[in-house]
Structure 1
Amino acid sequence: MTSNLVALAFDAHEPRELARFWAGLLGRETVDDPDGVFVLLPTRETEFRLEFAHSDEPKRQPNRMHLDLTSTSDDDQQAIVERALSLGARHIDVGQRPEEGHVVLADLEANEFCVIEPGNNFLTDTGVIGALASDGTPAVGYFWSEALAWPLVRDQAEETAIQSPQGGTKISWGGPPVAAKLGKNRLHLDIAPPAGADQHAEVERLVALGATRIDIGQGDVSWVVMADPDGNEFCVLTPR
């Protein structure tokens, strides 16, 4: 039994507005969740949701994870950038070199993301969201490969990446050094065991792989909050 990736969850000061930004950029629809989370619906069964929940916590440092969006041509890359800017994004400098082909932007709440140049071999055949690109050690890549049963598609020079056997978005980690965390990550993964499975047993399996249970003040909720080997928070939802 392994869990499935259900969602990438954003903490947001204005979750509805941030959801509208990403819906407009990705060409998806939003729905209002009964818990007050605004969800972008996937367009394919192999995709995960984007979810946005209210948080008053300030953004203290660059996110450990960001989205890499793909493009099919120079004109398409420029169109994606222009659409993002029209929705409220802005250009930012994170130390990228002039010769690099990707464009680095920030959304309405300063979450970094990249629009990748066409012809990027690593993101070939991945979809609109080519990668969830992360800071992280090799250990965390190995952990998530086991946690999701996604094979490694990169494991060299301390860089790792995994991808579902069905294809789609990759999750990648750039290797050490990994900056110390200043509070809870603003982006985290939500995973869930399949219908009929046991949530407690899945939590224990993840602990055996190197995760830890943590308390971030979640109170009495149906999901279990955990941290991966690099200390990144994630949630194990009820089976579905």
Structure 2
Amino acid sequence: MATRLVQINMKARDDSALGGFWAEALGWGISSEAPGVTNLEPEGFDYPDPVAVCVDLVVSTEPKTVKNRVHVDLATTSAAHQAQVVTRLTDLGATLADVGQGDVPWTVMADPEGNEFCVLDPRPLYRDTGPIAAVVVDCADPRAMADFWDKAMDWTLHEVTDQSAMLRSAKGVGPYLRFVRTPDVKTGWNRVHLDVRPYPGDDLAAEAARLRSFGATAVDLSPSEIPWRVLTDPEGNEFCLLTPS
């Protein structure tokens, strides 16, 4: 058994408005599976497919108070394209953000609800990822996180150092999942988290038990009627184990 990253979940005060921003930012289609939920995926996309990691925005009244521990990096093809993307996103309502990055070649921005993201300088590594180059997770120990997520998913491990680690779909398509060392301490629930999904025919309870066997922790949300499981990784980051599909 194994899982794969299929989407990220982002809390939003106004899921429809924020979903509109991200749909325009990514050039993706927009839909809604239920009130208070906005779903984004590429036009003509056959979910789930590793060519893209989709975005679900879910309404929440909880305010954003700290820097998100999970964010997306957007790919660009040239310095001119990077400048164009920054200008276009600013026109859509994004703002420049200072998270202590200093003098770097990428541009740190925040969406209309303050969620941080990066518009990267052009990099050959991300030339074929689609608009999202990477889903980035802040962590204390990239090596330990890489070990957990390498066991959790059937993705391929591409890099492991003391400062960062990266995985990508075994098919070599879509964005990377990157873990970056940061001194920031996790406080409260993450406003952005990963959603992973087992394959058709797999058993959800057995997969949850497998993940717990090498470091995941179950989150008790009782009473709850949700069909999926909520767990945390070894550093306490929440993620959802969705029903097999």
Look up the match of 2:99: 94
Residue aligned with 1:30, SS:
strand
Shift of 1:101: 1.1
Matched, 1:117 2:121: yes
The alignment-based identity, stated in percent, is 38
Asked if 2 retains the 8 angstrom alpha-carbon contact of 1:60 and 1:182, the reply is no
Corresponding residue to 2:136 among 121, 125, 133: 133
Relative to structure 1, the CA distance from residue 37 to residue 229 in structure 2 (aligned partners, 3 Å threshold; closer, same or farther) is same
Look up the match of 2:37: 37
Alignment size in residue pairs: 237
Q: What is the distance in 2 between the residues matched to 1:21 and 1:145?
A: 32
- Partner AA of 1:135 in structure 2: D
- Partner AA of 1:197 in structure 2: D
Look up the match of 2:201: 196
Shift of 1:124: 4.0
The structure 1 segments of at least 4 consecutive aligned residues displaced by more than 4 Å after TM superposition are none
1:51-80, Cα deviation, whole Å (9 max, x unpaired): 000111111210111111111111211111
1:22-48, Cα deviation, whole Å (9 max, x unpaired): 000111110011353110013553212
Relative to structure 1, the CA distance from residue 12 to residue 146 in structure 2 (aligned partners, 3 Å threshold; closer, same or farther) is same
Matched, 1:166 2:171: yes
Matched, 1:157 2:162: yes
Shift of 1:102: 0.5
**TM-score, normalised by the number of residues in structure 2:** 0.91
Look up the match of 1:62: 67
* Runs (5+) with no aligned partner, structure 2: none
- Partner AA of 1:190 in structure 2: D
Asked if 1 retains the 8 angstrom alpha-carbon contact of 2:135 and 2:176, the reply is yes
* Runs (5+) with no aligned partner, structure 1: none
Asked if 2 retains the 8 angstrom alpha-carbon contact of 1:161 and 1:171, the reply is yes
**TM-score, normalised by the number of residues in structure 1:** 0.93
Q: What is the distance in 1 between the residues matched to 2:109 and 2:222?
A: 32
Shift of 1:6: 1.9
